[in-house]
Chains A and B, each alone.
Chain A
Amino acid sequence: MIEVRQLCAYAGETALVREVSFTVGPGRVLALIGESGSGKTTIGLALLGEARPGVRLTGTARVAGRIGYVQQNPAAALNPARRVGAVLREFARAAGRPARDAVAQALDSARIPLTWRELRRYPHQFSGGQQQRLVLAEALAGGPSALMLDEPTTGLDPLTRDAVIGEIAALARRGLAIVIATHDLGAARRLADDVVVLRDGQVCESGPAARVLHAPSHAYTRQLLAAEQHPRAGGSLAAAEPVLEVEGLTAGYRQPVIQDISFAVPGGSRLAVVGASGSGKTTLARCLAGLHEPAAGTIRLRGERLAAHLGGRSLAQRRAIQYVFQDARAAFDPRRTVRDQVARTAIRLRGMASDEARAHADATLGRLGVGSDTASRMPAGLSGGELQRAALARALLAEPEVLVCDEVTSALDTVTRNASVALLAGLPGTLVLITHDLGLVSAVADTVAVVADGRLTRYGPVDAVLAETMEDAR
């Protein structure tokens, strides 16, 4: 049972959350819906009795029993220096539960069956999707009666997303009171009994999901629902010269993660690399960008063979291939302003003076919807969505020939995401998108590469490949 009454949050004089009230009974799911910065995470933290530094709470947020929390970007909640099994057992014991049974049960509920050997691994030895389940398992290890899940379906491939939605529904059936903060309207539609639509910390509309999401009474809710339809990009598969050619690429850590992958990316085309978590998509992208040294194979840029490692590539080659990381927060230095860090691209790779570079940085950031005020803050002062856009701006500032994006839209709400999708679709260069987001694929990509278990299983025009893949998924 979760009960929130007249909850307000202030940062100084600014109200972040205004008079939010809701109750969630056992076995019920409530979805907090809104754009980044609408106050979803602030409410989530208030349920745990926490507030970000400098934030003042008034009103009440009560939870009967324990509440488990899975944060957005859950990988950061895993202790890099501790084996996952030991932490799970410790969390179970801290809640006064028998460690063995509680851990087995939690792993089972989070659907991440691990052997005792796998429990001795460190978090970095798991894929992004597995890490998210591990955090869920940790939250469940304490035997909570309520759960707060911040963006639980963000950054998941469609199949995993479906599975996660199924798991959350199963947890609700077992009697947990669940709050999800999400911008994934599809997930909210499938999971939520009740919905609270937030805008700038205020409740626009709330009520049963069936009514709010199908017959919204508030204009903003209608706008959110309308934005769900992706803008469809034009353009056809160009029979242009290949910009990027990959031949026999094999790479991995101790074992190969990707094996013998070959393909060519024609100039100006938009390639989407799709596949389940842990299939090797990110490793492939990192090889292209020179961040991971392949064990075998070659990568050519306009026919020129690229050095395996970034250090061996010329300035022009580095500028030509830019990489946008999945975890935007980790990709920024926490101690320098976002503008300075974005401008650095232009200084380093285009030889601009710092004033000129800053002006360019501001212009690019502005196009992506990051205002000049926001850009002058430290990364900690930006939301996840804003940082991801800043990361995109940082790469675009190099005016790359090939832009490699690793799950860049996964942390954005629908409205800002569509703006970014439209922007990505309108870019002049060649695009390699690593993504789970089939909506993004159909909106932006013209070519699709499907990676499964480290091998390229399909490659071709988007419509044909997507149709086949959906067929297989059934």
Chain B
Amino acid sequence: MTLAGYGLRRAGVGLLQILAVATLVFAFLEALPGDAAVAAAGDDPDPARIAALRQQFGLDRPVWQRYGDWLGGLVTGDLGASLRSGRPVVSLLGTAAGPTTVLALVTLAVLVPLTVALGVCAAVRAGGWFDRAVSSTTVALHCVPEFALAVLLIAVFALWLGLLPATAVGGGLLEDPALLVLPVVVLLARSAAAPVRTLRGAMIDALASDYVAHARRHGLPRWRVLLGHALPNAAAPAVQQLARTVDWLVGGIIVVEAIFAIPGLSAVLVEAVAARDVPVVQGVTVMVAAVAVLANLTADVIAFRLAPRAGVA
């Protein structure tokens, strides 16, 4: 199978996955007691008022009709408008996605070289002190919940030492990079263990292989054998592990954003769920699902290129 054919087939499957996720979330929100009208009525649960609000939000129409409208809008790129504020969901998400994207990209930009450096160095001397230090540190950090680590870091670096800001309130992440340091450190601490350990294991296998011995015998420099001959084979599983980390960065960033008061997707999502603001929740869902599908697709295509044999099956 060719790379292009493989990519196209996987992209088709990815679209179906996004659709399935969006449909499930729609169904779950529908199944929950109460709706946007009840939430908006708040402390004044007068049935007449709720009915009026329902009509205003268009919630009096049958479920399948609302779902059909939403699907139709999705095809044309229109995700509807927030029931709460009336703002178009697309612009709402566009604003909120900015800080989340910056946070995720900066984390990835540090994570990828960090994974390669730690994974390769640990594998070169597997069982040595560096390997053991990397393994125990990454696993230990992985075991600390991000809220605990975040609170600890804020206490030490923001409150005690006064070196770094504790929250992002009032500043742009890009204008003031110091704001990024603590959130990124927390995200890295949580996400580094899996890709580093995957790469380490794959590197150990690759370094024991005949083709690496063969390359060594040709007198290639050590770094060339490591990075040019062993790493391309070891990278395939690590890249797929990284894709899973991207999923987590987009979906699981909520706690970190909340603690550091970063006005990203998580704030929008939490508010929308509380208000039963179905179009906004749906929009966030589609976006997160799309990123997850795209990240995994990219990883699979890279892995296909790195391990051409595996793609035949």
Residues in A lying within 8 Å of B, measured CB to CB: 48, 50, 69, 71, 73, 76-82, 87, 90-91, 94-95, 122, 124-125, 135, 138, 141-142, 253-254
- A73, A76, A125, A142: the one contacting B218 at CB < 8 Å is A142
Say yes or no: A124 contacts B220, CB within 8 Å. Answer: no
Say yes or no: B306 contacts A81, CB within 8 Å. Answer: yes
Give the contacts of B223-237 with A (CB-CB under 8 A): 224, 228-229, 232-233, 236
**What are 24 A-B contacts defined by CB distance under 8 Å?**
A48-B217, A69-B214, A73-B210, A76-B209, A76-B210, A76-B211, A77-B214, A78-B214, A79-B211, A80-B308, A80-B309, A81-B307, A81-B308, A82-B229, A82-B232, A87-B215, A87-B229, A90-B224, A91-B215, A95-B219, A138-B218, A142-B218, A253-B312, A254-B2
The 7 closest A-B pairs by CB, nearest first: A76-B210, A81-B232, A77-B214, A79-B211, A91-B218, A124-B309, A122-B308
- A73, A80, A91, A124: the one contacting B233 at CB < 8 Å is A80
- B1, B211, B218: the one contacting A80 at CB < 8 Å is B211
Residue interface bits B23-63, CB-to-A below 8 A is 1, else 0? 00000000000000000000000000000000000000000
What's the nearest-Cβ distance from chain A to residue B125, in Å?
Answer: 15
Q: Which residues of B contact A50 (CB under 8 A)?
A: 213, 217
Q: Which residue of A lies closest to B231 (CB)?
A: A81
Say yes or no: A94 contacts B220, CB within 8 Å. Answer: yes
Q: Which residue of B lies closest to A66 (CB)?
A: B219
Bound complex: CA A81 to CA B303 (Å): 10
Q: Which residues of B contact A141 (CB under 8 A)?
A: 218
Q: Which residues of B contact A91 (CB under 8 A)?
A: 215, 218, 220
Give the contacts of B161-185 with A (CB-CB under 8 A): none
Bound complex: CA A99 to CA B1 (Å): 31
Bound complex: CA A48 to CA B228 (Å): 22
Residue interface bits B295-307, CB-to-A below 8 A is 1, else 0? 0000000000011
What's the nearest-Cβ distance from chain B to residue A151, in Å?
Answer: 14
Residues in B lying within 8 Å of A, measured CB to CB: 1-2, 209-211, 213-215, 217-221, 224, 228-229, 232-233, 236, 306-309, 312
Q: Which residues of A contact B306 (CB under 8 A)?
A: 81
Bound complex: CA A91 to CA B214 (Å): 10
Chain B interface helix/strand/loop/mixed: helix
What's the nearest-Cβ distance from chain B to residue A435, in Å?
Answer: 24
Bound complex: CA A122 to CA B307 (Å): 10
What's the nearest-Cβ distance from chain A to residue B236, in Å?
Answer: 8
Say yes or no: B220 contacts A79, CB within 8 Å. Answer: no
Bound complex: CA A151 to CA B309 (Å): 26
What's the nearest-Cβ distance from chain A to residue B6, in Å?
Answer: 12
Q: Which residues of B contact A78 (CB under 8 A)?
A: 211, 214
- A71, A138, A254: the one contacting B210 at CB < 8 Å is A71
Q: Which residues of B contact A76 (CB under 8 A)?
A: 209-211
What's the nearest-Cβ distance from chain B to residue A105, in Å?
Answer: 16
Q: Which residues of B contact A81 (CB under 8 A)?
A: 232-233, 236, 306-308
Say yes or no: B229 contacts A79, CB within 8 Å. Answer: yes
Q: Which residue of B lies closest to A329 (CB)?
A: B210
Q: Which residues of B contact A125 (CB under 8 A)?
A: 308
Say yes or no: B308 contacts A90, CB within 8 Å. Answer: no
Bound complex: CA A91 to CA B217 (Å): 10
Say yes or no: A77 contacts B229, CB within 8 Å. Answer: no
Bound complex: CA A48 to CA B217 (Å): 8
Residue of B217, B224, B232 most packed against chain A (CB within 10 A): B217
Say yes or no: A90 contacts B220, CB within 8 Å. Answer: yes
Q: Which residues of B contact A138 (CB under 8 A)?
A: 214, 218
What's the nearest-Cβ distance from chain A to residue B50, in Å?
Answer: 55
Bound complex: CA A77 to CA B209 (Å): 8
Q: Which residues of A contact B312 (CB under 8 A)?
A: 124, 253
Given contact pairs A80-B308, A94-B224, enumerate 9 new A-B contacts (beta carbons under 8 Å): A50-B217, A79-B232, A80-B307, A81-B306, A87-B229, A90-B220, A90-B224, A141-B218, A142-B218
Bound complex: CA A3 to CA B272 (Å): 80
Say yes or no: B215 contacts A79, CB within 8 Å. Answer: yes
Q: Which residues of B contact A82 (CB under 8 A)?
A: 228-229, 232
Bound complex: CA A94 to CA B175 (Å): 47
Residue of A50, A77, A135 most packed against chain B (CB within 10 A): A77
What's the nearest-Cβ distance from chain B to residue A309, in Å?
Answer: 11
Q: Which residue of A lies closest to B209 (CB)?
A: A76
Q: Which residues of A contact B215 (CB under 8 A)?
A: 79, 87, 91
Bound complex: CA A109 to CA B181 (Å): 58
Q: Which residue of B lies closest to A380 (CB)?
A: B208
Bound complex: CA A125 to CA B312 (Å): 11
Residue of B215, B233, B307 most packed against chain A (CB within 10 A): B215
Q: Which residues of B contact A142 (CB under 8 A)?
A: 218-219
Say yes or no: B211 contacts A124, CB within 8 Å. Answer: no
Bound complex: CA A90 to CA B217 (Å): 13
Bound complex: CA A124 to CA B312 (Å): 10
Given A81-B233, A142-B219, A71 contacting B214 (CB threshold 8 A): yes
Q: Which residue of A lies closest to B214 (CB)?
A: A77
Say yes or no: A124 contacts B308, CB within 8 Å. Answer: yes
Bound complex: CA A71 to CA B214 (Å): 9
Q: Which residues of A contact B213 (CB under 8 A)?
A: 50, 77
Bound complex: CA A71 to CA B224 (Å): 22
Say yes or no: A94 contacts B218, CB within 8 Å. Answer: yes
Q: Which residues of A contact B218 (CB under 8 A)?
A: 90-91, 94-95, 138, 141-142
Bound complex: CA A71 to CA B209 (Å): 12
What's the nearest-Cβ distance from chain A to residue B5, in Å?
Answer: 10
Bound complex: CA A130 to CA B195 (Å): 36
Q: Which residues of B contact A71 (CB under 8 A)?
A: 210, 214
Residue of A69, A76, A82, A254 most packed against chain B (CB within 10 A): A82
Bound complex: CA A40 to CA B226 (Å): 29
What's the nearest-Cβ distance from chain A to residue B20, in Å?
Answer: 25
Q: Which residues of B contact A253 (CB under 8 A)?
A: 312
Q: Which residues of B contact A94 (CB under 8 A)?
A: 218-221, 224
Q: Which residues of B contact A80 (CB under 8 A)?
A: 211, 233, 307-309
Q: Which residue of B lies closest to A81 (CB)?
A: B232
What's the nearest-Cβ distance from chain B to residue A55, in Å?
Answer: 14
What's the nearest-Cβ distance from chain B to residue A275, in Å?
Answer: 22
Bound complex: CA A94 to CA B216 (Å): 10
Q: Which residues of A contact B220 (CB under 8 A)?
A: 90-91, 94
Q: Which residue of B lies closest to A86 (CB)?
A: B228
Residue of A69, A73, A79, A87 most packed against chain B (CB within 10 A): A79
